[in-house]
Structure 1
Amino acid sequence: MELLQQTLQQIQAVDQDMMVKARERVDALSKPPQSLGKLESLAVQLSGITGELFPNIDQKAMIVMAGDHGVYEEGVTNNPQNVTVFQTLSFPKGLTGVCAIAKITNAKVVTVDVGVKEDLPTDAGVLIKKVKYGTDNMAKGPAMTREEAIRSIEVGIEVATEQVKNGINLLGTGEMGIGNTTPSAAILSVIHNCDPLKVTGFGAGVGAGGIEYKAEVIRKAIALNKPNPQDPIDILAKVGGLEIGGMAGVILAAAANRVPVVIDGYISTIAALIAYKLEPNVKEYIIPSHMSEEPGAKIAAQLLDIEPMLQMNMRLGEGSGAALAFPILDAACSMMKNMATLEESMLLLSK
C-alpha cells in the first residue's frame, strides 16, 4: 500500500505551458490549420506529458500482464484455461500477435506473471511477480483480497518504473488471461451502474451458454460481493483480475514518471478506468490506441472521455492495438521535429 500511495502522490498534471508552446508551433507549421488532425493533438499531448517541445519516444516497451481467472469454472469461455500459460511462455519467444506488431518499431515486449494459475519456468524470460495462482471464482466470493488487489497494482508500478529507469520513454499496456473479458465487464458494470448484458461481449470465445449466460454470471458475482462503486480497489478485489490491476499500476507509474502510456482495447481501458478512479490526473498521460470490438469498449472510453485513434475491428488483446499505434506517435514526433514552420521555410528559401 505504501508504494501505491507514494506513486499516487507523485502524479501531477501535464505541463500546460509546454502544451501551449507546442500548439503554437503546430499551428505555425507549413500546412492549413488542423490539416494533420489527430497527429497534431497527439504531438501537443506528448509535449505536455514530457515537458519537451520535441518529445523523444525512441525507447518503447509493451508490458504484458498475465493472470488466470477463477470465474473460468463457470463456463464463461470456450477456450482452454491452459492457453494462458501457453501464450505467456510464447511472448518471450516473439511468437504472438503483439510481438509481431511490436517489431515494427523495435519495441521490447516485457512479459509479467502476476497471477498465472501454474508455476512457470524461471528461465523462460517471464518476470515472475505472482500475487496468487489466479483469482478466486467471483461467482462464489471475492476474486481476491483487498491486499492482493493492491499488490497486483504495485506489481505494475514496480515493473513500469524499472523500465523507465532503464531508459524506456514510451509504455504500452497488454494482457493475457483466458476469461478476462468477464471481470472487465463486471468492473464496468459496477462503475457505470448498468446491467452486465449491456457491456458483455463475445470475448475470445464465449462459452456454451452464450453472452446472456456470461452476463448472468457477472450479475450473480456483483450481487454476491457488493463491490463499492466509489472504491476502485474494492471493485478490483471483488470482481476484477490480477492482470487488470497490473495494467492499472503500469498506467499509474507512467503518469508518476511523466511517460506517455498507450493503452490497448477493452481490458486495458478497464484498467485505465481503475487507475483514473484512483488518480484523475492519469487521464492526461493515457493515449488510447484502438476501439475494440467488445461492446463495453466504447462505453469505457466514453467514461474516460478519450477517443481511440484507430478502428481496426480488432479484439485480440495482448497489447496488439497499442503496439500498432506506436508508429503513429513516431509520426507525431517527426512532424514536430522535421516539419518547418512557414517562417522557417521562408528564411531557408531566402538564403
Structure 2
Amino acid sequence: MSWYHDPAAELSTEHLQLAQSRQQQLTKPPGSLGQLEQLAITLAAMQKAEQPGCERVVVTIFAGDHGVAAEGVSAFPQSVTEQMVANFAGGGAAIAVLAKALGATLEVVNAGTVNPLPELPGVLDCRIGSGTANFASKAAMTTEQLQQALQLGRDAIERAQQQQAQLWIGGEMGIANTTSATALACALLRRHAAELVGPGTGLDNAGQIHKSAVIHKALDLYHAEAQSPIKNLQYLGGFEIAALTGAYIAAAQAGIPALVDGFICSVAALYAQRLNPSVRPWLLYAHQSAEPGHQAVLAASDARPLLDLGMRLGEGSGAASAVPLLRLACSLHNGMATFAEAQVDDGQ
C-alpha cells in the first residue's frame, strides 16, 4: 500500500472540548462571532493547543506546464509559466506580496516547466519532465511521474514541519491548468465539461466552448467516469496538481492544518480526500472562486469557504487573503475575557 493511504493524524478531542467550553465563557452571546468561533475551536483541536495560532505560515507554490496547452485552451502562451516563476522569485507576483505582508515563508517548487530554469532564489528545481503530455491524445503522466509528483507534495510538507508551521497553504502556476483541473473535476463528479468550464486565464465564449470540447474528448478517450481517482490523476492531471494532492494528504498525516485556495487547489484537495478520506478534517477552505466549476467541487467536499471576493488568480492568493481572518479568530479566542474575568453577568 502506498504512503498516501496511511491514516491522517487525529484531531484532539480534549482540546476541541476545552475550546468549545472557553467560547461559551467569553463575554459575548454564544455563537455571536459565527465562523470565527468555529475556526478557533477547529484550530485548537488541530494544533492540540489551548491557545491556537497562525503566525507561522508556510506557502508552497507548485509550478508545471501542461501538454494540453497545444490544443489552444489558454489565452496565454506556455512561456508565461516560467516567466511567472521568475516573478514569484523576484517578489512581484500577488502571492509574493501577500506572503511578505503576512510574514509567511514562501517557496516555489518547479515541478515541470517546459524548459529548465536558471537558478532562482526561493525556487526548488524538481522538474519531473518538460511539462505533462497532451492528455487530448495520451496520458498526461506515466505511473512513475505521478508517484514523483505526489512525493513532491509530501516533501514540501516535511519542510513545513521542519519550520514548525502552524498552517500550510498550497498554490499553483501552470498555463492550461484550469483545463486539467476541470477535466479532473468532471471525471470525479460525473459532470459534463460544459457545466464546469470557465474562462481560466481569460478565454472568451468561443474559447470556452473549444476548451469544453477538448475536455469532453479526453474524458471519452480514457473512459474517465469508470476510472479510479488515481488513474484519472495520471491521465488528466498536472505535475503541480498531483503535487498539491500529495501535499494535502501529507499535511493531514503530519497534523498540519491546510488552507485550501481556489478551484485548482480545491480539485487537488478533493482528489486527496477520495484517495484518503481521513484527510478531510484537516482542510480549511479559504474562498469561493469566480471559476464556475469551483462551486460544484466545494459542494462535493462539503466545504464552506470563508471569503467570496470574486477572485480567480490562483497562486494561493485567495488562501493568503484569508489568513488574517484565521489570525483574528485565534486572537479573539485567546484574548477575550471570560464573564468571570470581566465581572460581567452571564445571564445565568
Place the TM-score, normalised by the shorter chain, in its bin: over 0.9
The equivalent of 1:329 in structure 2 is 326
SS in 2 for 1:326: helix
Contact 1:65 1:243 in 2 (8 A): yes
Question: Would you say the 8 A contact 1:175–1:319 is kept in 2?
Answer: yes
Q: C-alpha displacement at 1:229, in angstroms?
A: 5.0
1:63 maps to 60
Please identify runs of 4+ aligned residues in structure 1 that moved more than 6 A.
none
Matches within 5 A, 1:2-41: 5-41=2-38
Task: Look up the match of 2:159.
Answer: 162
Count of paired positions: 344
Query: How big is each residue's C-alpha offset from its partner over 1:112-170, in whole Å with a ceiling of 9 and x where there is no partner?
Result: 00111110113443111111111100000111112211211110110121121122221
**Alpha-carbon displacement from aligned partner over 1:294-349 (angstroms, at most 9, x marks no partner):** 110010000000111101000011000011111111111111211111122229xx
Structure 1 residues 152 and 273: alpha-carbon distance in aligned structure 2, compared to 1, 3 A threshold: same
Instruction: Report the CA distance shift for 1:144/1:228 in structure 2 as closer, same or farther (over 3 A).
Output: farther
Which of 241, 246, 251 is equivalent to 1:244? 241
Structure 1 position 47, deviation (Å): 1.1
Q: Is the 8 A contact 2:46 2:256 kept in 1?
A: yes
Q: Which structure 2 residue ranges, 5 or more long, are not aligned?
A: none
Greater shift in the superposed pair: 138-147 or 305-314: 138-147
Question: Secondary structure, in 3 states, of the residue corresponding to 1:141?
Answer: coil
- 1:236-265 per-position Cα deviation (integer Å, ceiling 9, x unaligned): 100111110111122112111111111110
Counterpart contact for 2:61–2:173, Cα < 8 Å: yes
Instruction: Tell me which of 191, 195, 205 is aligned to 1:194.
Output: 191
Secondary structure at the aligned position of 1:117 is classed as coil
Unpaired segments of 5 or more residues in structure 1?
none
Change (3 A) 1:54 1:124: closer
How far the C-alpha of 1:8 sits from its partner, in A, is: 3.6
Q: How does 1:192-341 map to 2 (within 5 A)?
A: 192-206=189-203, 209-227=206-224, 231-341=228-338
Report how far residue 231 of structure 1 moved: 2.0
The residue aligned with 1:86 is 83
Distance 1:265 1:32, change over 3 A: same
Which piece of structure 1 moves more, 42-51 or 64-73?
42-51
> Displacement of 1:193 after TM fit?
0.5
Q: 1:307 to 1:152 in 2, by over 3 A?
A: same
Residue in 2 that maps onto 1:178:
175
* Equivalent position SS for 2:259: strand
Q: Deviations over 1:248-284 (max 9, x none)?
A: 1221121111111111100000010111111112111
Q: Is the 8 A contact 1:11 1:256 kept in 2?
A: yes
Could you tell me how far apart the structure 1 residues matched to 2:14 and 2:213 are? 49
- The answer on whether the counterparts of 2:66 and 2:174 sit within 8 Å (CA) in structure 1 is yes
In 2: Cα distance, 1:100 partner to 1:262 partner: 18
Whether contact under 8 Å (1:75, 1:207) holds in the other structure is no
**How far apart in 2 are the matches of 1:64 and 1:256?**
20
SS in 2 for 1:114: strand
Distance in 2 (alpha carbons) for counterparts of 1:130 and 1:236:
18
What is the CA distance between 1:226 and its match in structure 2? 2.3
Superposed displacement of residue 104, structure 1? 2.3
Q: 2: distance between equivalents of 1:124 and 1:103? A: 15
RMSD, aligned α-carbons = 1.6
Between the aligned residues of both structures, percent identity stands at 35
Q: Which letter does structure 1 place at the counterpart of 2:211?
A: K
